[in-house]
Amino acid sequence: MNMKRVAPVLVVLLAALSAFATPVLAAPLKLIVETVEVKTDTPPVLKGPKLYLPARVVLETLGANVTWDDKKNTLTATVPGHEAAFDLGSTEMTVDGDQMEMGEKPTVIGGVTYLLDSALNRALPLEIHRSPDGDSIEVKYRWEKRSVKVQEIIKWPRFFVGRPIAVDGEYRGWSAKGLDGPVCQGPPRRRTDWLVKDDTGALYVTGRRPPLDPYTDAGKHVSIDGTTAVKSINGHTVPFIKADTVTLG
């Protein structure tokens, strides 16, 4: 066999096959926030070793309050105890009042603002990593149980959902009448639901009920350990507390 004649034929054959081959495109990375997959048209993006995340999608799914300032060209996210402002025209961000480096300017892809995962990690206490199978990016907020005020739950209703908390306040039975502060009141669903009040407002509590009379024991101190949830009432997101334990005194 004359190899000098065969070689050009092979080159032509391979070129023809490649022309008809269908390119295999990598599937978009899934976005998992707090163990739940987020259905979004703006998935995470890998560019070489760098990972970019859709800022608003990630932050709002975590429960942050996110605002956009057209004049300052700045995206600001707040969660309990932290505030981060990302300037789209700068490599710097403001975190809890301090200037910090992002590494590079935010990237806009298809009209959506993307941030480096390292910038988000420096801005907020997050855990961001790629799944073992490599097909998704997982984001979690580092949270440990702590005492919170009612007003914090009212301000960030979705942030606190499912997170362990402790609330100290007054047992108020079934009525919100006369309560001061930003009372966030959803109608009780059961007679076992009750109100707790602190110096910032009041919320309904479900689950564990203290052995107190809703009329004669109003004003007694209670300590609640539990989580929060939300329900929609007249188009508004209304939080409430799900008590696991209630301690008197």
Taking a C-beta distance cutoff of 8 angstroms, is the pair 52, 116 a contact?
yes
Domain 30-141 has what CATH class?
alpha beta
Please say whether the dihedral angle defined by the alpha carbons of residues 183, 176, 233 and 153, taken in this order, is positive or negative.
Answer: positive
Each residue's pLDDT tens digit, 128-148: 999 998 899 999 999 999 999
Give the mean model confidence (pLDDT) for residues 149-159.
95
Tell whether the model's pLDDT for residue 1 goes beyond 80.
no
* Predicted pLDDT of residue 59: 97
* Predicted pLDDT of residue 182: 56
E strand intervals along 120-235: 126-130, 136-141, 146-147, 165-171, 194-198, 201-207, 221-233
* Predicted pLDDT of residue 80: 96
| % pLDDT > 90, the chain | 73
Q: Does domain 146-248 have CATH number 2.40.50.140?
A: yes
**Residue ranges per structural domain of the chain:** 30-141, 146-248
Six token digits for residue 77? 């996210």
Instruction: Give the range among 83-97, 176-190, 220-234, 235-249 with minimum mean pLDDT.
Output: 176-190
* Predicted pLDDT of residue 178: 77
Threshold 0.85, pTM exceeds: no
Contacts for 48 with CB less than 8 Å, ≥ 6 apart: none
Give the mean model confidence (pLDDT) for residues 208-235.
92
pLDDT band at 187 (very low <50, low <70, confident <90, very high): low
Alpha-carbon distance values, 66 to 60, 115, 126, 165, 199 (Å): 7, 14, 16, 23, 26
Total residue length of the chain: 249
pLDDT band at 242 (very low <50, low <70, confident <90, very high): very high
Each residue's pLDDT tens digit, 52-101: 999 999 999 999 999 999 999 999 999 999 999 999 999 999 999 999 99
More confident residue, 22 or 89: 89
* Predicted pLDDT of residue 236: 80
